[in-house]
């Protein structure tokens, strides 16, 4: 069986579309259709059902998929075994939550590009997971870096997972600090700003506050953690943000972390990627380097 046809089959599964697979591979749609027909003829079974404009794997297609992925991995390992001195090339697309993209992700990317400078990387920023997870599922993005509950994305695989602290923080001259002990009610009632109610940690905070019977009425919602930090640096507001986004400002005394009792908001940062896609060499190396950054303590230093 031609490995080119197997590659086409896997790409169609990733993209859920013959047309998008053809565009991604640089083939005509007719060529893609012909390759799949050749595979189906060789296997003696249909691999896809076509319902209107949508396609679905048949039972035979679902059985064949893990074997197809194994064939691609075996081919890649064989190629790499005779290309030990060849530099890694290709494309890598990542979408990231804004706070993660401003702090943690650059550390990983810098290490990756130091080793693999010929890889073309595209990073998109979004805090709205519903849209971006759908793009990962369609094969339009390789990875999504998100901050969420540990098992929030059961349909995906995860890499480089790290527990994250979400903290209450404000500017040093905030009058509420004169009280000495700042309560939760003080924090959320003092010009409280959140990034967006749909963002995971904001939604969890709102849920916990409602459970406690505490009013949740932020003075402002801003879809950017960076903008919130700038407002506090300029002497306005209190917020609830990932610790890594404000840690340097806290260390320099520019912002103050509030000693609020644990709200039970347990979140993690991690990369998600599609379960049933072929993990190409660029993706495999990115996962390795991201997890190495965790293991060697480069990212721990940011906590």
- For residue 175, give the DSSP letter: G
Residue carrying structure tokens 């059985």: 63
pTM of the model as a whole: 0.67
Q: Taking residues 57-71, what's their average pLDDT? A: 91
| Top CATH class, 90-161+275-296 | alpha beta
| Top CATH class, 3-81 | mainly alpha
- The three-class DSSP label of residue 194 is strand
Is there a shared CATH topology between the 90-161+275-296 domain and the 166-267 domain? yes
Spatial distance between the Cα atoms of 52 and 127, rounded to a whole number of angstroms? 33
Given CATH 3.40.50.720, say whether it is the number of domain 166-267.
no
pLDDT digits (tens, 9 = 90+) for 141-154: 999 998 888 888 88
Q: Taking residues 47-56, what's their average pLDDT? A: 86
Q: Give me the helices (H) in 97-224, please.
A: 98-102, 104-115, 129-137, 184-188, 200-212
Domain ranges of the chain: 3-81, 90-161+275-296, 166-267
The closest of 104, 117, 136 to 285, measured between CA atoms, is 117
pLDDT digits (tens, 9 = 90+) for 235-285: 999 998 889 889 999 999 999 999 887 666 678 899 999 988 888 999 999
């Amino acid at each position: 069986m031609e490995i080119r046809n197997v590659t086409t089959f896997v790409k169609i599964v990733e993209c859920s579309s013959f047309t998008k697979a053809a565009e991604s591979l640089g083939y005509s749609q007719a060529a893609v259709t012909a390759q799949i027909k050749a595979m189906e003829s060789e296997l003696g079974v249909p691999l896809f059902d076509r319902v209107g404009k949508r396609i679905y794997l048949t039972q035979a297609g679902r059985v064949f998929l893990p074997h197809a992925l194994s064939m691609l991995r075996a081919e890649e390992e064989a190629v790499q075994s005779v290309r030990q001195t060849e530099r890694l090339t290709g494309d890598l697309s990542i979408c990231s939550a804004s706070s993660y993209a401003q702090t943690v992700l650059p550390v990983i990317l810098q290490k990756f590009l130091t080793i693999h400078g010929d890889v073309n990387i595209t990073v998109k920023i979004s805090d709205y997971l519903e849209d971006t997870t759908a793009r990962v599922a369609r094969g339009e993005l390789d990875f999504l870096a998100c901050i969420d509950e540990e098992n929030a994305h059961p349909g995906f695989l995860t890499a480089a997972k790290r527990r994250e602290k979400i903290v209450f923080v404000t500017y040093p001259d905030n009058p509420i600090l004169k009280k000495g002990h700042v309560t939760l009610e003080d924090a959320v009632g003092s010009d409280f700003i959140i990034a967006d109610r749909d963002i995971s940690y904001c939604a969890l905070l709102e849920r916990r506050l409602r459970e406690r019977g505490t009013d949740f009425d932020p003075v402002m919602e801003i879809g950017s953690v960076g903008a919130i930090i700038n407002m506090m640096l300029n002497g306005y507001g209190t917020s609830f943000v990932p610790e890594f986004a404000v840690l340097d400002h806290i260390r320099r005394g520019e912002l103050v972390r509030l000693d609020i009792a644990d709200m039970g908001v347990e979140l993690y940062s991690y990369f998600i990627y599609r379960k049933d896609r072929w993990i190409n060499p660029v993706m495999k190396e990115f996962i390795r380097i991201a997890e190495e950054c965790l293991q060697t303590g480069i990212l721990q230093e940011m906590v």
